[in-house]
Structure 1
Amino acid sequence: MFEVPAEKIAFYEENGFVQLEDVLSEKEINELSAYLDEVMAIEGEHTQSVEKDSDYFKILNSKMNTWRDSAGMALYVLSPKLADIARQFSGSTGVRLFHDQAFWKMPGDSKPTPWHQDATYFPMHESNVLTLWLPMHDVDDVNGCLSFIPGSHKEGKLTNVDFLHPIDLLELTKESGTNLRRPVNVPLKRGSFTLHHGLTFHYAHANKSDKPRRVLTIVYMPENATFNSKSNHELTQGSSLQEGEPLKGRLFPVLASASQSD
């Protein structure tokens, strides 16, 4: 397995995000990129997609749970190597998959993704979820890289943000007297990725290039995460889960645990 350097974990704990370079080989990223293109081009039985004529499409064209419609995608979404990297940052004994999501930020009439916290959208009480953000190509502030507010994960859970009619999270923190540091852009080279905490404020620049910005995200949650019945997340709508019950089962498998890594 990939042993994360102690200084990377310390950086993550202080700032709420971290960048890891050259984790995937050229062969792996070529393979994953091809699988992702394939799954984005089909009408999957299990994925949830964005309508192309919707306003949201200008912000993000996305598909959720690509692993359920593509064995190739499952190789990477369920990857023990990637999951164990997330576990080392999580502070948990193990991590489960919550979901994967493919995000294409389309060229042309592209719009930025506003500042938000991932954990406010998810149906679990725990906030120490992690999002792995893996681009299929180099990204920068021209084609839609991420920006983070260092230390913002220490602000606690605020509110989810409507991407079409966003509120200003930074204004909310000013009202509480918090002086957050300036945003940090994180350009990435192909084969590298970021991990960020579920409460870290982050933002994606508009895509000003002439090609789609193509990214796979994988969301990991603690293996003992519990259901928050106030959420209306698509993956738990209509389920028989009760408030406070463990989020587990075939859709939320444990992908890495400390005992497996010993």
Structure 2
Amino acid sequence: MSYNYRYTVDGGTFTDDQRRFYEDHGFIMFRNLVPHHKLDACQRHFVDICDGKVDTGMMTIMKDGSLKKRSDVKGEYLINKIQDWLLDDVLFENYAVDDSIVKVIQNIVGPNVTAAHSMLINKPPDSTEGFSRHPMHQDLHYFPFRPADRIAASWTAMERIDEENGCLFAVPGSHKAGKLYQHDYPEDVENKAYHGVKGFDHIPRVNLIMEKGDTVFFHPMLLHGSGPNKTKGFRKAISVHYADTNCHFIDVRGTSQENIAVEVMELGQKKFGIKASFQDIWKGKSRLICGQPGAFQTFDSHL
């Protein structure tokens, strides 16, 4: 029986079963994929960043809003995310270009790979649920490039992650609807840019329980999110979104993505004092991983 592959590319290293699982579910997990010593290096570097020992350059450092007014909360107990770290050599070398990750990604986006977005997400203890959880959403909401099928996330547990400390949950197969839903701020979510969808709470979902080094790869149209950290420990994960270097950029004005575009451009202008298009901001955040450069390596100030 023939199988109509859409979400993976020919000539990769996936087995038939792995390829079909990703096609059908919109995600696939590989156990103990990333070496622990690399994650330990990322962990130490994250703590140094939180303690102000590292020049953060163009990174975005985000504090937990429910904790930042407390004088006794500092460092990794306060920082809940760093993103845009692709120019940081420690994180880039230990994670973004890890051979085991890139080999999986090439099964999905092809041989020419750009790292488009980067995050190290920390759920500290004692945060409120409104800051700690991430509502159900689709990552494509944030991206002004297409096609969606040539974009994929890698998301790696830096420690055990389960329902108690805020694991990922996903709606298997939801990527196949082929629809980018309206995203807004849910009433009970306080984190900046944590947009979410409404009306999907009744849909069955699966919790992705992960051990240190386990890595899940998923499609940008997959409905997913994460719960709050209810423990007295941390919940750390590191993630990169990869794309085919030849993805094309779109104008999101007049679409459901316009709200996030305005928000990102305002934040960019506030941080750097430069007015840049939504598209050029994303190009500036990216870094070539392998293969031939493409649209991500050109800038179009008129967009």
Question: Match for residue 107 of structure 2?
Answer: 88
Distance in 1 (alpha carbons) for counterparts of 2:49 and 2:80: 13
Which of 7, 19, 37 is the aligned partner of 1:9? 19
Between 1:13-22 and 1:29-38, the stretch displaced more is: 29-38
Contact 1:140 1:188 in 2 (8 A): yes
Contact 2:64 2:127 in 1 (8 A): no
Number of aligned residue pairs: 242
Distance in 2 (alpha carbons) for counterparts of 1:192 and 1:28: 13
Deviations 1:160-217 (A, max 9, x none): 242527542417xx9xxxxx5x201110111111111100000201101111211111
Q: Is 1:46 the counterpart of 2:69 in the alignment?
A: no
Q: What SS does the corresponding residue of 1:120 show, helix, strand or coil?
A: helix
Which of 54, 59, 63 is the aligned partner of 2:82? 63
| Root mean square deviation, CA, Å | 3.1
Deviations 1:58-112 (A, max 9, x none): 9x821111232x321120343151223212123x342211111111112223422
Distance in 1 (alpha carbons) for counterparts of 2:39 and 2:16: 26
Question: Match for residue 181 of structure 2?
Answer: 158
Distance in 1 (alpha carbons) for counterparts of 2:166 and 2:242: 23
Q: Is 1:253 the counterpart of 2:253 in the alignment?
A: no
Which of 70, 77, 90 is the aligned partner of 1:72? 90
Structure 1 residue 133: deviation in Å? 1.0
Q: Is 1:127 the counterpart of 2:148 in the alignment?
A: yes
Query: CA 1:89/1:125 → structure 2, altered by over 3 Å: closer, same or farther?
Result: closer
Letter of the 1:147 counterpart? F
Structure 1 residue 236: deviation in Å? 7.8
Matches within 5 A, 1:7-46: 7-42=17-52, 44-46=56-58
Q: Is 1:189 the counterpart of 2:201 in the alignment?
A: no
Letter of the 2:22 counterpart? Y
In the alignment, structure 2 segments of 5+ residues that lack a partner are 1-11, 70-76, 191-195, 253-257, 270-274, 293-303
Letter of the 1:5 counterpart? T
Distance in 2 (alpha carbons) for counterparts of 1:157 and 1:236: 24
Q: What SS does the corresponding residue of 1:134 show, helix, strand or coil?
A: strand
Distance in 1 (alpha carbons) for counterparts of 2:15 and 2:48: 35
Structure 1 residue 52: deviation in Å? 4.0
Distance in 1 (alpha carbons) for counterparts of 2:155 and 2:82: 14
Between 1:70-79 and 1:157-166, the stretch displaced more is: 157-166
Structure 1 residue 13: deviation in Å? 0.9
Deviations 1:96-152 (A, max 9, x none): 111111111122234221110010111223323211111210111111111110100
Distance in 2 (alpha carbons) for counterparts of 1:116 and 1:208: 21
Q: Is 1:106 the counterpart of 2:124 in the alignment?
A: yes
Contact 1:124 1:227 in 2 (8 A): yes
Q: What SS does the corresponding residue of 2:148 show, helix, strand or coil?
A: coil
Matches within 5 A, 1:200-211: 200-211=222-233
Which of 154, 167, 170 is the aligned partner of 2:200? 170
Q: Which has the larger radius of gyration?
A: 2
Contact 2:34 2:215 in 1 (8 A): no
Deviations 1:225-256 (A, max 9, x none): 222332524598733687xx9x75x7423313
Question: Match for residue 177 of structure 1?
Answer: none
In the alignment, structure 1 segments of 5+ residues that lack a partner are 175-179
